[in-house]
Chains A and B, each alone.
Chain A
Amino acid sequence: MSTTVFSRARIIDPSRGIDQVGTVIVEGRKIVAAGKSALNQGAPQDATVIDCAGKAIIPGLIDARVFIGEPGGEHRETIASASLAAAAGGVTSIVMMPDTDPVIDNVALVEFVLRTAKDTAIVNIFPAAAITKGLEGREMTEFGLLREAGAVAFTDGRHTISSALVMRRALTYARDFGGVIAHETQDADLASSGVMNEGLYASWLGLAGIPREAESIPLERDLALARLTGGAYHAAKISTAMAANAVTRAKADGANVTAGVSIHNLSLNENDVGEYRTFFRLTPPLRAEEDRLAMIEAVKDGTIDIIVSSHDPQDVDTKRLPFADAAAGAIGLETLLGAALRLYHNGDVTLLRLIETLSTAPARLLGLPGGTLKPGAIADLALVDLDEPWIVSESGIRSRSKNTCFEGARLQGKVLQTMMAGRTVFSA
């Protein structure tokens, strides 16, 4: 059994509330020690010892919202290419959205994803299954059988379920099988043909706007249904102060509710759309600066539980179009950590809290392994230089699609090594 010793690292383990200099020892697939107390612990003669002075060890990131093109859109991204991108970004687990072709709404598709992942992926791929067949918002999928096959959550991906009745039954039925219902809310009627945040900027560009209420009206409905049913509800990608307030209230009422935010809504605002830059066409849209600041506040105060990349690979055929005709979405696996660390470097969020939202919290929320450096835990971790500056460039992107919002951006914090179950899957 091989042993790796990461000595003198800054250990960030939100699962134990630890931020201290110490040593992490990995033996085989497991962490055997991680902390100050392990600093002088002996290691076998053949152990690989890595001096990590000035560097940090964090639990591998768990990205709970990742769109992949396989099956059906392999030219945009495969499970294998997404896993390469993930490993380079310090992400050791991906929760894969069911918006594929065919849709992941039956056991055979879950099995296909897990089999393909086993054969081709270098990080953990956890499929989320559709709430409704074909993502059509009408008939429930087989929650029980899908859970048993390995689906870790239920979500209609990019789609919002318009029927309150369907949502009520999904929340009620999923409760029996311990499944979380993760939902992106955008009222299709109210959003109409909108393509960016409603406001003065959209008006000058002549683009139809999406009001904030398009997000919070179906969200408020869902939160009421979560209270009614006691089902586990996850507001997958909120973007407005209004939505954050609604989640805060539901949590205070004791509802079984959690919330996530895309890194884009924490890092960028509507002005980044510039002159019709289609890579910045996202769902939810980039909002006003006040909303971005409210999202940071919500991460700090615990209203928002997790940060996701919302990685959504799009090719030139769907992005090299006039803004309103282009597909929404941006990739983000490789830049998730670097972009999130801006919040730490700016002094907005503590490192411990930040890593919690990127790793420990999503593991807890979805019942996944990882998200911890506790002795005995699976050795999913990343070695990071928190301060190293780098510039994102298209040529360095491993993802099959290059639609990043961070092209040319200066980020601070670079992944040096990523380990998945004790095996190095990336090293810079």
Chain B
Amino acid sequence: MTDASSLPLYPHRHLLGIRDLSPADIELLLDKADRAVAISRQSEKKTTTLRGRTQINLFYEASTRTQSSFELAGKRLGADVMNMSVASSSVKKGETLIDTAMTLNAMRPDILIIRHQSAGAAALLAQKVGCSVINAGDGAHEHPTQALLDALTIRRARGPLSKLIVAICGDILHSRVARSNIMLLNALGAQVRVVAPSTLLPAGIEKMGVVVTRSMAEGLKDADVVMMLRLQRERMEGAFVPSVREYFHYFGLDAEKLKSAKDGALVMHPGPMNRGVEIASEIADGPQSVIQEQVEMGVAVRMAVMEALLDPRRNREVAR
């Protein structure tokens, strides 16, 4: 897409999680993504970087946002993109993930994007196919491109992440976004806090490199960035929290709670939002919100990742 050779060669074949990345790997992907932002802002958005390459999106969980972001990223790089719609495919008829993977592999794609409800699904797929694999979210495990796009959004607004205070608020327990972000932010030297009711915190959270608090006022104090997480409907109403009303009262981001954060602190949300549950509309649409920027950065980051994984300087014939 741009002069690829001016940046170092990305050392990995897959992107399965932030865990596998060094700080240098992360910075490299962010640098590449910065260049990709410019492409998306031109009127001519199509490049030839991945011309002739085949990208398959395999989404076991419905996701308009992430799937269209990956699709657009591939198309802007000139790849041929195919969306495997799980709802109408043989997966519905009981075909296992591995069998589906083998079938798709036989079609010789260059890159597979997978989203799956089970943790470890992307890694399992990567063992069985000959092409590059990008994890677009596996259960409560990781969602690396989301963490990268969040980092890019922050970096473009606030500069280097080191020393920034980032508060991640809400359903940490079930969130792959939280896990990937905790790892990435720690890798780049940010100070990470998590704010949630104890029923929505995973075991051992205090050893995950974060400061844990149950109070928004405490968690948001002097924060540079406030990341809100989505609370799934089925987890409200008595299962993990007693009611939407109580949850919003203590953990929903409104103008009052946001006052604890640094003036002009960034407000982020991976989407889709539950307005009035984890975030008030006035905040989501307010001047501190960078939620729309996150969506834009999403396309750029995914372009950067795909370009890095399929770098032509790497051995062209990957093992099949």
Contact = CB atoms under 8 A, between A and B. Distances in A.
Interface of A: 198-209, 211, 275-276, 317, 320-325
B202 interface: yes
A322 B124 contact: yes
B183 to A, nearest CB: 9
B208 interface: yes
A322 B97 CA distance: 8
A176 B304 CA distance: 73
Contacts of A324: 118-120, 139
A206 B120 CA distance: 8
A325 B141 CA distance: 15
A206 B96 contact: no
Given A205-B141, A206-B179, A323 B120 contact: yes
B203 A202 contact: yes
Contact of B140 (A198, A199, A206, A317): A206
A206 B204 contact: no
Given A206-B141, A206-B142, A206-B179, A275 B120 contact: yes
B134 to A, nearest CB: 17
Interface string B122-154: 011000000000000011111000000000000
B282 to A, nearest CB: 33
Contacts of B96: 317, 320-321
A11 to B, nearest CB: 48
B176 interface: yes
Given A206-B119, A206-B176, A206-B179, A320 B98 contact: yes
B261 interface: no
A317 B118 CA distance: 16
Interface in B189-209: 202-205, 207-208
Quick one: which of B98, B140, B179, B202 has the most chain A CB within 10 A? Answer: B202
Interface in B136-186: 138-142, 176, 179
Given A206-B120, A322-B121, 7 more contacts: A198-B203, A205-B119, A205-B120, A206-B138, A207-B119, A207-B141, A276-B120
A47 B203 CA distance: 64
**Consensus secondary structure, chain B interface:** mixed
Contact of B139 (A206, A211, A275): A206
B119 A203 contact: no
A322 B116 contact: yes
A322 B119 CA distance: 7
B293 to A, nearest CB: 27
Interface of B: 19, 96-98, 116, 118-121, 123-124, 138-142, 176, 179, 202-205, 207-208
A200 to B, nearest CB: 3
Contact of A321 (B97, B138, B202, B208): B97
A207 B98 CA distance: 20
A321 B205 CA distance: 27
Given A204-B208, A206-B139, A206-B140, A199 B120 contact: no
Contacts of A211: 203
A324 B139 CA distance: 10
Contacts of A201: 204
Contacts of A199: 203-204
A317 B99 CA distance: 10
Given A205-B119, A206-B179, A317-B96, A276 B139 contact: no
A161 to B, nearest CB: 26
Given A276-B123, A317-B96, A322 B203 contact: no
29 contacts: A200-B204, A200-B207, A201-B204, A202-B203, A203-B204, A203-B205, A203-B208, A204-B179, A205-B119, A205-B141, A206-B119, A206-B120, A206-B176, A207-B141, A211-B203, A275-B120, A276-B120, A276-B123, A321-B96, A321-B97, A321-B124, A322-B97, A322-B116, A322-B118, A322-B121, A322-B124, A324-B118, A324-B119, A325-B118
Contacts of B176: 206
Nearest 9 A-B pairs (CB), nearest first? A200-B204, A206-B141, A276-B120, A322-B118, A206-B140, A203-B202, A206-B119, A322-B121, A323-B120
